[in-house]
Structure 1
């Protein structure tokens, strides 16, 4: 099968599995995609794809990491920088030393250098897998941001550790000084390239759009899609971390976007394009992982002979050791910094054994681990085979599957037992921001118009009438969002709450009627086009206006239903 056909088939299967996951909510989407990939490649004449680690890392990982760096809340990231760095750097070193020793003890046939290489391969969590598994499970927001920050940064430390473990195996020598210098060069160089490219793109975009406005929105979005590939390839060419370069470019671009509030078309297009790309590339990564499983398992079981249970037990033991070391580090090495973050008010949830268990189970490995294992060289310096390479690849793959399954089963159970945290911080900030925006508009409408025509009382009356209607609408929004005022007596407080609830119900009914009205408008416009009374351009322009209005209205409807304690079914979830 040609490469083009394979890419199209993988994208098609990614879309199909995404739809299937809507009906199989008990099974996480990554497991469905891995299982389907394994089924497709299991038969002798099934779909077999040669997995090129360098091509995989260059094609799939940069846009996904760029999008994660672009979306992750920067305020929370810097507020949690101490625990994130302890996980991204300290935990990787702790895992390499501890797990490498454990692997060599469990499987004496694996040389110590290869054992450290395997430990380095499985030490970094995978940003794609962590986001895919923990999404919509109710993980506390700040803990989720800490896990995302860890997975964005620990690839560099894990890959450096892998590089030096392989070098020790090939040469038999190791230098802590050389390792530290190499890590600093890879990490700081990658971050520097990403920041420079991100700032360069931001300056160029600002220069262009200052002249032509939103007319060039499509071209700017296309250039931003290519930006993570440019950052990754340039960094790899220089010899620094392309993964960190893609993350840094996403960070920098996100900061630049904060000054672009007026470019609506570009913002809508960017959101849509990145949503499609994340869905497609996430699916492709897990499907490709599944496609490799049968051949890797087949070679390992064949080498094991009649002792098929031995490699399975080894994979389970290594996965258990990996999660055990992660729990120890979270309990001893990170807990104190989490308490300090909590005491400063940056983390509402209190560090607890149950939260530590949830963060441990969320240490999921993914396709980056497989790519790292497959990047181990085939031959030694003297031309002999690299020792235990096939076993290393199998054990890395087994660890990926074990952490995915354990996380998929254990995380919902652990999160269900966490104490209720009350109103989520993100929901409270959302409500307060909406209230501030509504009050600012009301204050603006109450001011006399600066551009009122002199000597035209009719215009002033019309302006006051329009401002009054708008003010009434914004006051309805405030009634929906604002908590009822605390009254002096319980009876008066109950009466005030009942009145507020009725006002919210009326506003909810009004928005549902508006939503139905938009649907009627849209159906009428399509009927007009089918009757050839308007052309396609007119139809698209008018429907685009209705679509934007409906998106805004649906968001407000979600907030209104939450305020009334009604079930919410958000679009896209």
Structure 2
């Protein structure tokens, strides 16, 4: 159970970090995740927490690499094979060799094989981390494409080199010829087994779709399991599991046209599942870094207190040398991205700074064995610490420098403008819907409520909501008074209803403490009324008998009064009086009449005062009255409501066409609105199909 709680807290910390990030997006998301992990390290459960390296690679890295391969553009990859080989193989191997000798030269206590393992750890780049840093920056297309393609395969190069270095260290034997042979077998063997198993997986998926077994409960778990199964199969054969899952992902990418033949709902669920899964796993890695750093720091201090400055210096030198190497490689176009001569210097600087190290680097650092021949693995904490410093530097430096080099990304559609147009579109559709369907007010308002909820993102102004509620309450009072004046309901019932509205209004305007006092006073009144009922009845009977003695009446009237008094005396002393079904029915009809007229008048008022500026506040009040009305009137989804939804979507399409014809919307804005309406319509139609 301890492992379960530990993983659960790590996931929760990831969620918290991802929640905070949108409020201050200027800081990369990875830093929030590292900080969340550092705070989590204060929990005693994590003081000596160690995640098994094999489990880490299988459960985290395999699905992440499969997802990257699945989303890669296979056509661009074929067209840029030379660039991929140059960056992901040649540059990666050169970096491992140079960094290995440099690390060994600076740390004489580190064996050469371990120095090469450290170099292999810090070599791979992470395109996802780059994207999080450059969210609002316009990275040149050639450079960004190069980074994405490079990160697919230099991970595998680093992992194979890492495996060779560890094997050489643990066995004490290394042959250059055997090393190259082993590299080629592991590298291309991993690709081959991944391609074969990827084809098998795609064929199996297509077979399930063709035979009608394409429900989300079958296909989505099948897709999620694929990277784990392929990784295990490749590792069992002694090949690169990472390259195998990348190759399988590329097969999925090449088969996109066939895979799209499944239902729209399945595609939406599958994409959403993978996005959520990979987002959590990417964050999980950095949270784990934050959790592990304090423990690593303490262990290093206990073993080699004076070595920490040396480790930090080595990490800085490794990062600077890799930065310079990447710059020269791209500057002289050895990266084969074919930049224009005037752009090479800038592209080289951007490409060098964007060589961010993240998930794979940390994964390999944590995958260092815990023990060797029964003893603690030498320098494990030191290597993790150096890798962590390199990761932090590679995140921090571009965060500080790239904003001065890259221009701000120009979005095709301004989000604020798109939100305003979305509000205007919904307002137009809802107005038309209400005007054209006066015979179905409840169903129309339900549709209006859902459409408005899809268009609203900001919180309503509480003061404006209170003002609208006060005006709506006044409309309720006026409606009830008119019903009483017209004789539709009794004046007593109208007075009770108005007193209830006054109490509700007072409670909505007061603070919670005052509301509690009002509620306790109301409950106390009801309790005292219940317990004092018998005494009041006795006093009332006595008073009536006294009046009979003071004011004699006819024998017939006296007989009737005495009969009523005897009935009241014979009534039970405890419990409620027997309810009159006819009176209850009449009260129910009166209340429903009030509710229906109040609802119609309030909704008409809200429709009149609604505008784009106060939509959030009007919707808040409208939702309250809709919910109350449905509770009392027991309205359910009907075929008429479904037809109203279809009408509303048609009105939204009409709005876009009219605005586009009048050239009041740009093509990009119209396309954005079309996509939003199409998605809403598709989701709603699928919901209807699911209900039926």
What TM-score, normalized to structure 1? Answer: 0.72
RMSD: 4.2
Q: Rg: which structure is higher?
A: 2
CA spacing shift, 1:110–1:21, aligned 2, 3 Å: same
Q: Distance in 2 between the 1:134 and 1:218 partners?
A: 36
1:523 to 449, 463, 471: 449
The equivalent of 1:240 in structure 2 is: 239
User: How far did 1:308 drift?
Assistant: 5.0
Cα displacement string for residues 341-399 of structure 1 (whole angstroms, at most 9, x for unaligned residues) = x58xxxxx974212111111111112322332333345666x77655343222212221
Map 1:3-82; keep pairs closer than 5 Å. Answer: 3-42=3-42, 48-82=48-82
Aligned residues: 477
Task: Give the equivalent residue in structure 1 for 2:679.
Answer: none
- Are 1:300 and 1:311, in contact at CA under 8 Å, matched by a contact in 2? no
Residue 540 of structure 1: how far off its partner (Å):
11
1:17-416 mapped onto 2 (5 Å cutoff): 17-42=17-42, 48-212=48-212, 216-262=215-261, 263-305=263-305, 309-332=309-332, 334-335=334-335, 337-339=336-338, 351-377=343-369, 387-416=378-407
Write the deviation string for residues 383-425 of structure 1: whole angstroms up to 9, x where unpaired. 77655343222212221222122232233333239xx9xx99x
Other-structure match for 1:470: none
Q: Is the 8 A contact 1:515 1:550 kept in 2?
A: yes
SS in 2 for 1:88: helix
Tell me, yes or no, if structure 1 residue 532 matches structure 2 residue 628. no
| Aligned-residue offset at 1:107 | 2.5
With over 3 angstroms needed to count, the CA separation of the structure-2 counterparts of 1:125 and 1:412, relative to structure 1, is: same
Q: Per the alignment, in what secondary structure is the counterpart of residue 258 of structure 1?
A: helix
- Rate the CA distance shift 1:508–1:318 in 2: closer, same or farther, 3 A: closer
CA deviation after TM superposition for structure 1 residue 235, in Å: 1.3
Structure 2: distance between partners of 1:145 and 1:516: 44
Q: 2-side partners of 1:34 and 1:548: how far apart? A: 48
TM-superposed deviation, 1:273 = 1.2
Question: Tell me, what secondary structure is at the counterpart of 2:406?
Answer: helix
- Tell me the CA shift for residue 196 of structure 1: 2.2
Q: Which residue of 1 aligns with 2:599?
A: none
Contact persistence 2:234–2:244 (CA under 8 A): yes
Deviation at 1:184, TM superposition (A): 2.1
Q: CA deviation digits over 1:479-499, x for unaligned, max 9?
A: xxxxxxxxxxxxxxxxxxxxx
Post-superposition Cα deviations, 1:314-349, rounded to whole Å, max 9, x if no partner, equal: 3222222222222233334625x222xx58xxxxx9
Aligned partners of 2:650, 2:86: CA distance in 1, in Å? Answer: 43
Residues 107-116 or 21-30, more deviating: 107-116
1:95-141 CA-to-partner distances (Å, cap 9, x unmatched) read: 11111122222223323222222111111123543444344432233
In the alignment, the residues of structure 1 paired with residue 669 and residue 171 of structure 2 have an alpha-carbon distance, to the nearest angstrom, of 65
Report the Cα distance in structure 2 between the residues aligned to 1:511 and 1:10, rounded to whole angstroms. 42
On the 8 A contact 1:51/1:292 being kept in 2, the answer is: no
Separation in structure 2 between the aligned mates of residue 88 and residue 562 of structure 1, nearest angstrom: 41
* Structure 1 stretch displaced more, 170-179 or 248-257: 170-179
CA distance in 2, matches of 1:548, 1:183: 60
Alpha-carbon separation, structure 1, partners of 2:447 and 2:257:
34
For residues 318 and 76 of structure 1, what CA distance do their matches in structure 2 show?
A: 32
CA distance in 1, matches of 2:272, 2:72: 17
CA displacement 1:288-323 (0-9 Å, x = unmatched): 121111111222244443675343223222222222
Cα distance 1:318–1:77, how it changes in 2: closer, same or farther (>3 A)? same
The answer to whether the 8 A contact 1:88-1:150 is kept is yes
Q: Find the residue that maps to 1:259 and give its secondary structure.
A: helix
Q: CA deviation at 1:142?
A: 3.6
Instruction: Report the CA distance shift for 1:188/1:541 in structure 2 as closer, same or farther (over 3 A).
Output: farther
Tell me the equivalent position of 1:439: none
- Structure 2: 5+ residue runs without aligned partners? 434-444, 452-622, 677-692
Q: Structure 1 residue 510: deviation in Å?
A: 7.6
Whether contact under 8 Å (2:357, 2:390) holds in the other structure is: yes
Taking structure 1 as reference, are residues 561 and 226 closer, same or farther at Cα in structure 2, changes over 3 Å only?
farther
Contact 2:285-2:362 within 8 A present in 1 as well: no
SS state at 1:313 partner: helix
**Cα separation, 1, equivalents of 2:84 and 2:318:** 24
Tell whether the 8 Å contact from 2:282 to 2:359 is kept in structure 1 after alignment: no
2:46–2:291 contact (8 Å) kept in structure 1: no
Counterparts in 2 of 1:192 and 1:40: CA distance versus 1, 3 Å: same
Tell me the CA shift for residue 206 of structure 1. Answer: 2.0
In the superposition, the TM-score normalised over structure 2's length comes to: 0.60
Distance 1:36 1:516, change over 3 A: farther
Tell me the CA shift for residue 565 of structure 1. Answer: 8.9
C-alpha displacement at 1:88, in angstroms?
0.6
TM-superposed deviation, 1:544: 11
Could you say what secondary structure the match of 1:534 adopts? Answer: coil
